[in-house]
Chain A
């Protein structure tokens, strides 16, 4: 996996800060966060509730704005983009998977997956083939003509993943994608993401508080109280071993409390 061309940075976050609230009652959600994600990496961001991990993902995914610092995706600084440009950027460069699959109730799976393409005005023949392809890859071809309420949670989540992937984004943002799934569905989804990352070199940034989910990634960033606490690389170890190492860090973060910093 460790080949030279993978060193190209896709995401560069530098000195990111996010402050909520006004004078006298300030919450510092992110405090001087800096890191880099290279092309083809599968990066996990872990932290407890309120650690700032979701804020970080929201800022990176241009859904929220940063207070200071820069976020470069593919060399473009998204903190300085105008609203109209942001929509286009999200459409062309990013794919989203949320905890609740966020599928549109009134559309079938096929239509949900096609949505980013129709918004970008891709021609209908191409839409059709691309939807079929991505559905085959995520093994959801048989539910394409069902509505979200007719699918299982795992199927919904994979449809959402297909929707994120169909545009061939530079980076996939996943926010607790397994949060609402049973363990079997969660495993299926994670395996799909891992396969996407390995076979298609998709760059994935996944926020999770679940060590098991994090063990599928190639690198995990730990966040606590708005700061990067530490970082783990999987290297050539197998998943089970990586999981144990993650657990150790989690135990240490939880066990030692804020004194650790």
Chain B
């Protein structure tokens, strides 16, 4: 009996429940599809283990975030429906039904809708995840070799668990609502003259102004101070506090803007008498004002969410773009192998991790070692690395090769760098760019490299050597952006450098970024190097830091084959007179970097798009629910308008205008916040080169706007239908 009643209710209250159902279904779809990402990655043919792990951990965290967004949406939609059903539940009680049974009916209704939404959501989610596999493959630049239909039990259970938790949560909320409300309130839920919470317009305008000022000041502070990430350790705490204040100002300011919006709008339009007393303008503004008062908080939340979405997407994708663009410069040769020497700073650290006999062997390096001979005929294959195993010889694949030695800029046994970016800035009388405060480039100082090695690499890359005299220096850096600008400016200004008592003049006024790498890398290997003449370097007795062997394969050799043959080489520790001056560092092939970058790019883009999309859709859904409920609440008003001779067209325009304000104002505020934040972010990441926003970002934003606009359009069309129905309803007796 109760089941039948509940089922009938769900069907009758179809339109009200439709919004709830759609929201729920949407949530389930997105949640399920999101949790199948690891499977999609599998099918898309991305078989990198590290990537899967990175993704796994990131997805784990994001799932919670997503569940939070979903919960918010569902509770919101649930409140919407409860508000509409109050009267009916009141009626049951008047007819003598106990509260327990009313609660049961309501619970049954929730169960019915939840089950339908869950089933529909899973079906759609399964469909979506198949489609997304192709999207994944294209983002990660792989080919789908073996596509097959898949269903993830893991994602299914996760979604189910999440739904159950939320179901219980909404049920408890609803039961509380039924138990707490007085019957008279339930029955009168649709009372005649709604009391309008009016705010003194002058106070509202003042609050609006305060909001505008707060946001403006916060923008100014952010542009001036940037993000606290770049502050040096000593000032970090203070910078964090300042940043906290700025954030609080933006948040409070945003809410104040929305709080004061209605009063501001009314005063503004009333001052334009000709506009206010024309058509339905007055009605539109008053409706807006009445609603904005009650939804100003959620509009503020939406503005902030949109801000997050826009910023994360734009930022994530742009960083990925920059990384991709500079890949060629970062990886000048087919393969590189680095050897890192023990320095006064690191020796004790390494000794602490070694067993005693090994620790005894470790010594400070007083000179560099030659890496090529150490690998020539002495490497062993990783899968069989005992004496019987196949020897791996770098000579089998190596064509041209060069070793680049990097020394710290202080003598053997010393500890203070003599050349740093902050020192250079001081000499030039300029401020250190924000991005470098406290960075490695500054604390370790610049490296020093002999000219012969630098020129050999240039030669390998088909460039003319640069002559560097005994009293000259050249600054190189492959990280682009502001660092390179700084070094170029320093040399162009003719400033001198002092190394071990020798004063050096710039050899040229420009450094070539494209030949500045000292090893293959993902994001640049050289944050700053002083290239000096070999004979000077040998006199300086500097502390060696690292050596890298940069190798190009033999002419005509197949890159994949060559990669395979040396990829899994195990190299013995290098011993010089029985002592160990350092340890083998990173081995990087160019093709590996390209693959990784494509995957990293894919990962970042993927997550950025996904998070952004979820946020945008969630915002749009909330707005949509709000608007539909507004229209439903206002149906009596629309009927009155029609009765006193207002044309349908005019009424529709009024609805359109109201909804446009609700959809566009948070978007505008969110966009404004994003522009400012992005400006600062671009400045910050300019250490990696000039970040540009365009291409994929543009396309993504277009998709987002389409989704948001789509919601707007659907909401408007549904509202127009509801208004039409309200007008057509005869007030029959």
Contact = CB atoms under 8 A, between A and B. Distances in A.
B699 interface: no
Contacts of B644: 90-91, 96, 115-116, 119, 163
Given A102-B640, A111-B282, A149 B645 contact: no
Contacts of B732: 54
A127 B287 CA distance: 21
Contacts of B384: none
B261 to A, nearest CB: 15
A102 B648 CA distance: 18
Contacts of B648: 83, 87
Nearest to A156: B193
Contact of B730 (A63, A116, A118, A156): A63
Contact of B279 (A64, A121, A149): A121
B147 interface: no
Contacts of B297: none
Interface string B279-302: 111110011011000000000000
B637 A104 contact: yes
A105 B194 contact: yes
Contact of A104 (B273, B277, B283, B730): B283
A54 B640 contact: no
Given A54-B733, A91-B646, A105-B290, A115 B283 contact: yes
B195 to A, nearest CB: 4
Contacts of A111: 282-283, 286
B723 to A, nearest CB: 14
A116 B283 contact: no
Contacts of B278: 118, 121, 124
A124 B274 contact: yes
Contacts of A104: 283, 286, 637, 640-641
A107 B282 contact: yes
A105 B196 contact: yes
Contact of B193 (A83, A98, A128, A149): A149
Nearest to A180: B192
Contacts of A148: 193
Interface in A62-96: 63-64, 83-84, 87-92, 94, 96
B57 interface: no
B198 interface: yes
Contacts of A118: 277-282
Contacts of A84: 647
A87 B730 contact: no
A58 interface: yes
A167 to B, nearest CB: 8
B282 to A, nearest CB: 5
B296 to A, nearest CB: 16
Contacts, number: 103
Nearest to B733: A54
B277 A127 contact: yes
B645 A90 contact: yes
A169 to B, nearest CB: 10
Interface core residue of A88, A94, A107, A127 (most chain B CB under 10 Å): A107
A94 B644 CA distance: 8
Nearest to A20: B732
Nearest to A131: B277
Interface string B624-661: 00000000000011001111111110100000000000
A54 B281 CA distance: 32
Contacts of B281: 118
Nearest to A148: B193
Interface core residue of A92, A96, A102, A117 (most chain B CB under 10 Å): A102
Contact of B645 (A49, A83, A116, A128): A116
B645 A119 contact: yes
A2 interface: no
Contacts of A243: none
Interface in B241-278: 273-274, 276-278
A100 interface: yes
B279 A105 contact: no
B292 to A, nearest CB: 11
B284 to A, nearest CB: 10
A258 interface: no
B647 A87 contact: yes
Contact of B643 (A63, A88, A89, A103): A63
A214 B477 CA distance: 98
A149 B640 contact: no
A90 B648 CA distance: 13
A205 interface: no
Interface string A40-61: 0000000001000010001001
Interface core residue of A61, A87, A96, A149 (most chain B CB under 10 Å): A87
Nearest to A96: B643
B646 A106 contact: no
A147 interface: yes
B201 to A, nearest CB: 12
Nearest to B643: A96
Interface in B181-215: 192-196, 198
B717 to A, nearest CB: 20
Given A105-B637, A115-B283, A127-B277, A90 B192 contact: no
Interface string A180-200: 000000000000000000000
Contacts of A121: 278-279
Interface core residue of A90, A104, A163 (most chain B CB under 10 Å): A104
A61 B642 CA distance: 12
Nearest to B646: A119
A118 B278 CA distance: 5
Nearest to A114: B277
A115 B731 CA distance: 21
A103 B277 contact: no
Interface string B717-733: 00000000000001111
Contacts of A87: 642, 645-648
Given A91-B646, A107-B282, A149 B195 contact: yes
A54 B641 CA distance: 20
B290 A106 contact: yes
Interface core residue of B195, B196, B280, B645 (most chain A CB under 10 Å): B645
Contact of A147 (B196, B277, B730): B196
B120 to A, nearest CB: 35
A96 B641 CA distance: 11
Contacts of A123: 274
Interface in A93-151: 94, 96, 98, 100, 102-107, 111, 114-121, 123-124, 127-128, 147-149
Nearest to B287: A106
A111 to B, nearest CB: 5
A3 B641 CA distance: 37
Contacts of A107: 282-283, 286
Given A118-B280, A124-B273, A106 B196 contact: yes
Nearest to A64: B730
Contacts of B733: 49, 54
B197 to A, nearest CB: 10
Given A90-B645, A103-B640, A147-B195, 5 more contacts: A83-B648, A94-B645, A118-B280, A119-B280, A119-B644
6 contacts: A104-B286, A104-B637, A105-B637, A116-B645, A121-B278, A147-B198
> What are the 10 A-B residue pairs with the smallest beta carbon separation, nearest first?
A91-B645, A90-B645, A124-B277, A106-B286, A149-B193, A149-B195, A106-B290, A87-B647, A105-B194, A148-B193
Interface of A: 49, 54, 58, 61, 63-64, 83-84, 87-92, 94, 96, 98, 100, 102-107, 111, 114-121, 123-124, 127-128, 147-149, 156, 163
